[in-house]
Amino acid sequence: MARNEFSLSDIRFVKRITIGNINPNSTLTDERNITETKLLNKCLDEGKGKIIGKDVNYGVYQIGEHQVTLQSTTYHVGFKRKPYWLNEEGENI
C-alpha cells in the first residue's frame, strides 16, 4: 500500500490567502470574506494543499469614542505543484 505523505521538502508552490482586514479605512465586505474562505477550502480540498503557516494580525483603533479591534489571518498553503485552476492573480473559483 503506497502512502501519500506530505513533506515540507516536496513543496514547490505556496499560496497566501488573507481572510479579514486590519485597515480601518478600507472596509471589508462579507462577499469578499466568503470568496477568500471558499478559495482556502478549495485549496485544501481539491488542490490537495496543506496549511504550512499562519500569520495573525491585529489592529486596535480609536475612532471617536469607540475602540475598534480588527483582525486578519493569512494562511500559507503549500502544494507539491501549482494547481491548474489558480491563475497568476490568485483565485479562479
Question: How do residues 25-84 score in pLDDT, each as one tens digit?
Answer: 887 788 888 999 999 999 999 878 999 999 999 999 988 898 988 899 999 999 998 888
Query: What pLDDT shows up at residue 24?
Result: 81
pTM across the whole model: 0.80
pLDDT of 93 over the 50 cut: no
Q: Domains of the chain: which residue ranges?
A: 10-79
Confidence category of residue 1, pLDDT binned at 50, 70, 90? very low
pLDDT the model gives residue 4: 66
Question: Which residues, listed in sequence order, are joined to residue 19 by a DSSP beta bridge?
Answer: 73
Grid coordinates representing 53?
A: 503557516
Written as nine digits, the cell of 30 is 462579507
The closest of 40, 49, 39 to 13, measured between CA atoms, is 49
